[in-house]
Amino acid sequence: MAVKQILTVPNDFLRKKTEKVKTVDKNILNITKDLIDTIKVAKEPEGAGLAATQIGYSKRICAVRNFYRDPLNSNKIISEDIILINPKIISRSKETDIDWEGCLSVPNTYGKVERYEKIKVIAINSEGNEVKFRAAGFLARTIQHEIDHLDGILFTDRVIGKAITEEEFDNLNYES
């Protein structure tokens, strides 16, 4: 449909809890297309996920990107865009992981956030069908980050320690 402007802090809309989608109709499908179109052009940094609130819609919809190595060229990373409508985490691992996160709505800011390593999710896809799946690692982190957006929570609310700038992040020694 269209590439939308991504809302950034301190926009109060980012703090609103979203409305559950009742029916996957043309309006909802247009929002899903806007999410995909917008995340595809997000570069510097590249987006791993995008919630409807980030582009001005108060609906429980997000897009997440599942990054993986191209089976035909192991040096190339490709991604699959996944739409989740009314996503809900129905189970989670006991194990957690603390890693760096950033956000298209919180530019020039990074911080360490604790997330569950593995989750099981139930949602509706863009065809209107219920889907259940397991996610681990970076995909699980991304889904948790996007569901937080749908609840009006920003990653900066969960940062352990202090947030840093993009310049500080780029200069980190990755052994730490």
Residues involved in catalysis: 146
CB 111 within 8 A of CB 162: yes
Residue 139: how many other CB atoms lie within 10 Å: 23
| 63/119 Cα distance (integer angstroms) | 17
Beta strand pairing call for 106-116 and 118-124: unpaired
Task: Extract the tokens encoding 34.
Answer: 């806007």
E runs forming strands in 22-170: 49-51, 61-70, 73-92, 96-103, 106-116, 118-124, 130-136, 159-165
CA angle, corner 127, sides to 125 and 128, nearest 5?
Answer: 70
CB 124 within 8 A of CB 86: yes
